[in-house]
Amino acid sequence: MQLGSLATASLMLPKFLKAFEGNTFMVPPGNKVVVILQLSGGNDGLNTVIPVRNDLYYKARPKLGIEKTKALLVTDEVGLHPALTGFKELYDDGSLGIMSGVGYPNPDRSHFRSMDIWQTGTPSTEYSTTGWVGRYLDAQCNGCDKPTQAIEIDDILSLAMKGEHVKGIAVKDPRRLYGTANEKFFRDVQKNHKDEPGEQPVDYLYKTLAETLSSADYIFQQSRLHPSTGEYPKTDLGNSMKTIASLIFSDINTKVYYVSLGSFDTHVNQEGQQKRLFTELNDAVKAFTNDLKKNNRFNDVLMMTFSEFGRRVIANTSNGTDHGSGAPVIFFGAGINGGVTGTSPVLPTTPTASTQVPLQYDFRQLYTTVMQKWLCMTSAESQTILNGTYATVPIFTEIVLPLDGIELDAAWDGAFAKLDFEVFENDKYDTFVIERSVNGTDFQLVNTVTNTYTTNQQKYVYRDNRISALQVFYRIKGITRQGMPVYSKIVKLKNNSKQEISVYPNPVTNYTINVEFLTRVNQNVEITIYGTRGEKLYYNQINPNGNRVITFKVPDLFDIKTLYILNISYDGNVVNEKILFE
């Protein structure tokens, strides 16, 4: 990878750099991830999800239409392309959902312009220099201590991943980027740079270089923690999906992965080209989902495909199809509302060369649903990112959070720090390691607790001697019988500070929570809700402006009568409260 690729890395503030030089926060298993798979070139949706009972489809495509006997039937009405056998298996087990007729009003037939519209999430009449994922990063990660919240497996960063203040990182091969970043030339350039007045453009380039070098080290080291041992096809997409799997297994903090396959621009001899690409797509996705299941991470990953447009209804004279509009978007994951959403395309009796697949869903409805239901953003936050209000669509089933993690609470108890941790599926663990840190980054072993119980759910109590530090961080590392670590969330205690709040009503009604403080609060209050596996489900910041009570409403994605942890952080205090919803 060359300097051009280095320059695509995320632009972060210098204070973030040192976060990579030592150990970093481990993200507890349960960190929700989105994998976006771009089908570049304009994939033909009608030959992807085939309307096998529609005679007008076969009339419009007498040679190019895929016979019902060859299609992989998923309903009485539609079937999948014959090369998508792995997709059919996922559909059959309820892990694949199809959204029909996705596009946008007043569609543009240009590859470049239509891709910009999808990647920016803006109307076709507007132009933007930032992408929808980039604006998500601006909203959620401006101030994050690790600039790896979004990674594209490529040499060049797509517009979708570029925010105004925060950008994703483009890296095709972590090992190759690491090798390039550590070449003597780049290290010498960085070492010999001196700040000069009036040299802002130069300083900008040097800052980009410094951040890229540090990020390259971090990503490479993370990719080596738990490299995937799964069998993947020896294709470009297969290698990319294996890289993504290795990073997911390492518990890096990345929330969004982006990868592309193409070209689906099938003006000529579509049948062979689409079959070849679908075979590569199918084999890579099948290996990836099997790998996630084997490593117990399938529940945490949502994958979606999209293309900048579909193709026209009528085949052209070159055994291909020309630029169209609406097309299906396919979702994969354990929380997917499996099946087909929307109707089979309604085709005219006498289509013309310009006939398009009718629009059923605006693609920004899908983005809105993913942001609110999977990435736990509020409707107001998603509206800001997309600069508009879009109704959600039924992509997901009701979220079920299995009790299979470690829940940790901590409080001062005289001369001790009292750690209460509850373990779900306790019989899966051999030991529990108590770890402590004074900076939230470098954790040291305190003690090891051996699991002597055979119960499925077990509570433990451990008292650690109080140490003379302004703040102390704790976490529990459970070691499974297979030797794999499972981390609790990190809990912070601050010495010489009273931490008292009241949360009401509890159980929470109408998804509205009130938090009352012992004294008036004038600084930002960070609010986080965790699931029982330590997964972050909601985050917000509110400034009480000198008041003692704050009131906020959370999205209606929380299950009734299910335990959650409300984490309140303000002025160095951290308080955890167990809450229920009704």
DSSP 64-125: TSPPTTTSEESSSSEEE-TT-HHHHHHHHTT-EEEEEEEE-SS----HHHHHHHHHHT--TT
From CA 466, how far away is CA 573, in angstroms rounded?
17
- Give the model's pLDDT for residue 413: 81
Using alpha carbons, list the distances in angstroms from residue 154 to 77, 316, 509, 534.
37, 33, 46, 31
User: Topology of domain 499-582, per CATH?
Assistant: Immunoglobulin-like (2.60.40)
Task: State the pLDDT at residue 224.
Answer: 63
What's residue 332's pLDDT? 95
Nearest residue to 462 (alpha-carbon basis) of 422, 405, 403: 422
Rounded to whole angstroms, the Cα distance separating 367 from 362 reads 9
* Distance of alpha carbon 28 from the chain centroid: 14
pLDDT of residue 187: 47
| pLDDT score at 502 | 79
CA distances 407 to 43, 89, 231, 404, Å, are 45, 35, 34, 10
Residue 7 DSSP label = T
Residues sharing a CB contact under 8 Å with residue 199, sequence separation 6 or more, in sequence order: none
Residues 6+ apart with CB under 8 A from 12: 147, 166, 211
Between CA 131 and CA 116 the distance in angstroms is 8
* Residues 324 and 309: beta-carbon distance below 8 Å: yes
Please answer whether residues 189 and 6 qualify as being in contact, where contact means their C-beta atoms are separated by less than 8 angstroms.
Answer: no
pTM: 0.63
Along the chain (582 residues), what's the average pLDDT of each consecutive run of 10 residues? 35 30 35 92 97 94 95 94 97 94 93 96 94 92 71 93 90 62 46 48 45 57 71 96 90 88 95 97 97 90 96 94 95 89 86 89 95 82 91 72 65 85 86 84 83 85 82 84 73 63 87 84 87 78 89 89 85 79 88
Give me the residue label for tokens 């080291």.
Answer: 221
Q: Is 353 exposed, middle or buried (0-12, 13-18, 19+ CB in 10 A)?
A: exposed
Ordered by start, the domain boundaries in the chain are: 3-301+319-327, 499-582
The helix or strand, by DSSP H or E, that contains position 429, with its residue range, turns out to be strand 429-437
What pLDDT is attached to residue 481? Answer: 79
CA angle 53, 58, 61 (to 5 degrees): 145
- DSSP annotation of 12: -
Answer for the pair 274, 46: CB distance below 8 angstroms, yes or no. Answer: no
Model pLDDT, residue 182: 52
Q: What is the pLDDT of residue 303?
A: 97
